[in-house]
Amino acid sequence: SAVISQKPSRDICQRGTSLTIQCQVDSQVTMMFWYRQQPGQSLTLIATANQGSEATYESGFVIDKFPISRPNLTFSTLTVSNMSPEDSSIYLCSVAGGAYGGYTFGSGTRLTVV
């Protein structure tokens, strides 16, 4: 299975600022996914990022708020823009693949907006 390095692991940010989260994979992958996990809740998919094309956003998520870059097959970034306390969540990246069709997740970025 792929190994994912996600940075930063946690951050405390001021409202109105932006934070960029990085996801580095140790192998080339076609599809990468970004999830949000609000406190006490399950994971919600934000968007799917394919290399060389625009990310596909789920209902309720927009590119202006969560711009995503996917410059190559091993790297992606998610930016949380103009943050408010409601954006306080864990953000996780994931890649598809592996020997048995499973998905691998990064360790997450715990974001607190004050």
Partner 1 sequence: DAKTTQPPSMDCAEGRAANLPCNHSTISGNEYVYWYRQIHSQGPQYIIHGLKNNETNEMASLIITEDRKSSTLILPHATLRDTAVYYCIVRANAGGTSYGKLTFGQGTILTVHP
Backbone angles phi, psi at 85, to 5 degrees: -55, -30
Give least dist CB 61 to partner 1, A. Answer: 12
Minimum CB distance to partner 1 smaller for 10 or for 15: 10
Four-residue CA torsion sign, 47, 7, 85, 68: negative
**Category of 86 on φ-ψ map: left (φ > 0), alpha (ψ -120 to 50) or beta:** alpha
Give least dist CB 99 to partner 1, A. Answer: 9
Near partner 1 in 4-63, by CB under 8 A: 4, 30-31, 33, 35, 42-45, 48, 58
> Do the beta carbons of residue 75 and residue 24 sit within 8 Å?
yes
Near partner 1 in 53-112, by CB under 8 A: 58, 90, 92, 94, 96-98, 100-108, 110
Give least dist CB 82 to partner 1, A. Answer: 26
Minimum CB distance to partner 1 smaller for 14 or for 42: 42
**Residues contributing to the site for partner 1 (CB under 8 A):** 1, 4, 30-31, 33, 35, 42-45, 48, 58, 90, 92, 94, 96-98, 100-108, 110
